[in-house]
Chains A and B, each alone.
Chain A
Amino acid sequence: MSTHRFSKDSAEIALEKFRTGKLDRRTFLTAMAGLGLAVAIRPTSASAEANEIVICNWGGAALEAFQKAYGAPFTAATGTPVSVDGAGPATGAIRAMVESKNVIWDVTDGGMVDAVVLGTGGFVEPIDYSIVDKTLVGPDMAAEFGICNYTFANVLAYDAKKTGGKVPTGWVDFFDLEKFPGKRTMCKWIQGQLESVLLADGVKPEDMYPLDVDRAFKKLEPLLPHIIFWEGGAQSQQLFRDGEVVLGNVWHTRANLLHKENPDFAWTWAQQLLFSSAWSVPKGNPAGKKVFDFINSSLQPEGQVTLLRLMGNGPSNPKALALMTPEDKAVYPLAPENAATALKIQAAYYAANEAELQNRFLDFISR
């Protein structure tokens, strides 16, 4: 779910760049394609013909970005057109499509948690690793029902002007009201929130899962009056711009935009919370096995770096690193200098517990 929200947010970022003239139309469309977000561009829902791959993503700017990053290279290599449908591959939508035997998407941009949920329910095909080369992606990125197409992170962002130049060193500082007085922002969607609290409370990354929810709540409770909860990426950015918050647990793409806007806004990669987004293949997809050739192509480093530049989404192929400029590396969650203290978010844990946890969290923060 968090990944859905992240993908949608990346799309909003690219759309904003396109509107303000920082992206030309072609680049924009490619970026959208990369995220699998085409419906907004193509008024009729893309439907797969025999010789076409249809990606479904979250629309907006990601339509063009996906097309450019993932679609164009595949079409150039194979001649098979790729179209991007931005209808949003919610798990419910995929389930409805598969159950009604009316599948129009070949591959969906969901997230590792969704991949596990859909796989358990029998709504997606297992990734065919006789075709897809799992060595293209980093460790733990190739799962039975999903393979990582890009990565993103929740990071600790700060307003250097308000901290007086002090740089937070990790989540402990998020809780230190003396060292960093002022309001903070966290996300009201659960993934990556309690991890930051538990890291601040001294839980070791290797002991993180299953999350000790009671311990996290106990630690978080005294801080609640100082927290404003964001629900969309744009909002997290606005809270910093308005000077409402001094620290925040936000997506790295938004922290990066803030930094570009005003160098006083910065973020630390220390104890970043690392997420994998994933491709999944709905059961009975129109293009059949051919989609796995597309997935292989989408894991090539060149296209992934294109997506990084368009939207900030981090490549899943470690080889992409060699193609990056220092500027690219600064926003890449998996760059070695950034990833040293990263905590990997465990998809399997959320697949089993997210609904329950989300409700408990909403109840807790609204008390």
Chain B
Amino acid sequence: MTRFQRWALALTVPAAVLAIGLYVFPIFQVLALSFLEPKPGFGNYVSLFGNAAIGRVVRTTIIVSVLTTAITVVLAYVVAFAIVQMPRGRRRVALFLVMVPFWISVLVRAFSWITILRRNGVLNTVLTEAGAISEPLDLVYNQFGVIVGMVHYMMPFAILLLVANLGDIDRRIIQAARSLGAQPATVFWRVWLPLSLPGVSIATLFTIIFSLGFLVTPAILGAGRVLMIAEYLSVQISSTLRWGVATALSTLMLVAVGLLVAGAMRHPAMRAAFGGGRA
């Protein structure tokens, strides 16, 4: 290690101390609570598996997260694909527009969706007046509304991840495919898509991990009808004071996400994504 490297390492120490103090240590406290509340042992974990209600919460969370991820990645791919084809100036504008939702609080976004989707909302009014529907559609306060809100939240993340990856693809390979007589569709399916798999897989992983922990969006857009893990945990911590069950469930969720990441990392596409796209 050079003198410079040692200094560089030293500079990361305060951040590491903060992260361990404010993140790792509390996580171990959570872990400890899950074994100690209300009495020491594995009781909380055992009760998790016997509890049909928690099973339903977990199932809802998985269904909503998987659907959100699938829709997000497909839509984000379309947008990212269009963005990388744009000339530099227009591309900058498009990326700017993708970033705009980042500046708006998740609460404001959820309430905006209610304004659009509710029975007397913008969308239903337009559809009714256009004669497309006779009865307003139930677009919010259900799973559909929750997924709309979550997809909207996740889109910018997925787009940015995919733009970075698609922008890295060597255009000479595409030109080579065209010069060898491939049709545009063939070029996309046989060249673009395989080359963009690292980007797709990292966007998928990122979106699903994020989706599993959604709290505010399902609570507002689901209005009690879509109960996901994060909201369930928040009720157990702040209202019913069942900290043992809550910490056990969050520990299990952490382990599940850890396994998901570990499993995904074994895939060559994912290793390529972390290796900079060329590994």
Cβ-defined contact, A366 with B60, below 8 A = yes
B241 contacts A355, CB within 8 Å?
A: yes
Are A1 and B239 in contact, with the CB atoms below 8 A? yes
Which A residues are in CB contact (< 8 Å) with B235? 358-359, 362
B224 A365 Cβ-Cβ under 8 A = yes
Task: Say whether A366 contacts B227, CB under 8 Å.
Answer: yes
Return the chain A residue nearest B54 by Cβ: A363
Contact in complex: A230, B241 (CB < 8 Å): no
Asked if A358 and B240 sit within 8 Å, CB to CB, the answer is yes
Report Cα–Cα, A189/B238, bound state, in Å: 12
Instruction: Give the residue name and chain of the B residue nearest to A245 (CB).
Output: B119
B239 to chain A: closest residue by CB: A1
Q: Beyond A362-B224, A362-B232, A366-B224, is A91–B241 a contact (Cβ under 8 Å)?
A: yes
Shortest Cβ gap from A5 to chain B (Å)? 9
Q: List 25 A-B contacts (CB under 8 A).
A: A188-B223, A189-B239, A228-B141, A228-B223, A231-B219, A231-B223, A242-B118, A242-B120, A243-B119, A244-B118, A244-B120, A358-B239, A358-B240, A359-B235, A359-B236, A359-B242, A362-B224, A365-B224, A365-B225, A366-B60, A366-B222, A366-B224, A366-B225, A366-B226, A366-B227
User: In the complex, which of the residues B119, B224, B236, B240 contacts A188, with contact meaning CB atoms closer than 8 Å?
Assistant: B224
**B138 closest partner in A (C-beta):** A225
Shortest CB-to-CB span from A230 to chain B, Å, is: 7
Additional 10 contacts, C-beta under 8 A, given A231-B224, A367-B56: A189-B239, A243-B119, A244-B119, A244-B120, A355-B241, A355-B242, A359-B53, A363-B227, A365-B224, A366-B226
Q: Is A213 an interface residue (CB 8 A)?
A: no
Give chain A nearest CB distance to B255 CB in angstroms: 23
User: Bound state CA distance, A90 and B241, in angstroms?
Assistant: 11
Q: Does A354 contact B (CB under 8 A)?
A: yes
Contacts of A367 in B (CB 8 A): 56
The 7 closest A-B pairs by CB, nearest first: A229-B224, A355-B240, A366-B227, A363-B53, A188-B224, A243-B120, A228-B141
CA distance A152 to B240 in the complex (A): 22
B209-237 toward A: CB 8 Å interface, digit per residue (1/0)? Answer: 00000000001001111110000100110
Shortest CB-to-CB span from A38 to chain B, Å, is 22
Q: Which residues of B contact A92 (CB under 8 A)?
A: 241
Q: A179 contacts which chain B residues (CB < 8 A)?
A: none
Cα separation A16 to B118 with both chains bound (whole Å): 25
A359, B227: Cα distance in complex, Å = 11
Interface membership of A166, Cβ < 8 A:
no
Identify which of B57, B141, B232 gathers the most chain A CB atoms within 10 Å of its CB. B141
| Chain A residues within CB distance 8 Å of chain B | 1, 90-92, 183, 188-189, 228-231, 242-244, 354-355, 358-360, 362-363, 365-367
Residues A229 and B223 in contact in the complex (CB < 8 Å), given A244-B120, A366-B56: yes
Least CB distance from B273 to A in Å reads 36
Chain A residue nearest to B222 (CB atoms) is A366
Which residues of B are interface residues toward A (Cβ below 8 A)?
53, 56-57, 60, 118-120, 141, 219, 222-227, 232, 235-236, 238-242
B238: which A residues are within 8 A, CB to CB? 90
**Are A359 and B224 in contact (CB-based, < 8 A)?**
no
Query: Separation in Å of the A25 CB from the closest CB of chain B?
Result: 28
A334 to chain B, nearest CB (A): 27
**CB-defined contacts of B57 to chain A, threshold 8 Å:** 363, 366
Residue ID in chain B nearest A95 by CB atoms: B241
Q: How far is the CA of A112 from the CA of B223 in the complex (A)?
A: 27
Chain B contacts of A230 at CB under 8 A? Answer: 223
Interface centre among A183, A231, A244 (most CB of B within 10 A): A244
A217 to chain B, nearest CB (A): 13
Q: Name the CB-closest residue of A to B242.
A: A355
Q: Which residues of A contact B226 (CB under 8 A)?
A: 366
A92 to B119 Cα, complex, angstroms: 40
List of B residues within 8 angstroms of A355 by Cβ: 239-242
> How many angstroms from the CA of A189 to the CA of B226 in the assembled complex?
15
Query: B residues within 8 A CB of A231?
Result: 219, 223-224
- Chain A residues within 8 Å of B236, by CB: 359
Among residues of B, the one whose C-beta sits closest to the C-beta of A190 is B239
The closest CB in chain B to the CB of A183 belongs to: B119
Q: How far is the CA of A359 from the CA of B56 in the complex (A)?
A: 12
Most buried by A among B118, B224, B240, B241: B224
User: In the bound complex, what is the Cα–Cα distance between A229 and B238 (angstroms)?
Assistant: 19
CB closest chain-B residue, reference A360: B53
A1 to B235, CA, bound (A): 11
Cβ distance B33 to chain A, nearest Cβ, rounded Å = 13
Nearest-CB residue, chain A, relative to B120: A243
Query: Contacts of B119 on A, CB cut-off 8 Å?
Result: 183, 243-244
B54 shortest CB reach to chain A, Å: 9
Q: Which residues of chain B are within 8 angstroms of A366 by Cβ–Cβ distance? A: 56-57, 60, 222, 224-227
Min CB distance B59 to A, Å, is 11
Complex Cα–Cα for A206 and B241 (A): 30
| Minimum distance in angstroms from B234 CB to a CB of chain A | 11
Nearest B residue (CB) for A189: B239
B-chain residues with CB within 8 Å of residue A354 when the two chains form the complex: 240
Residues in B whose Cβ lies below 8 Å from that of A189:
239
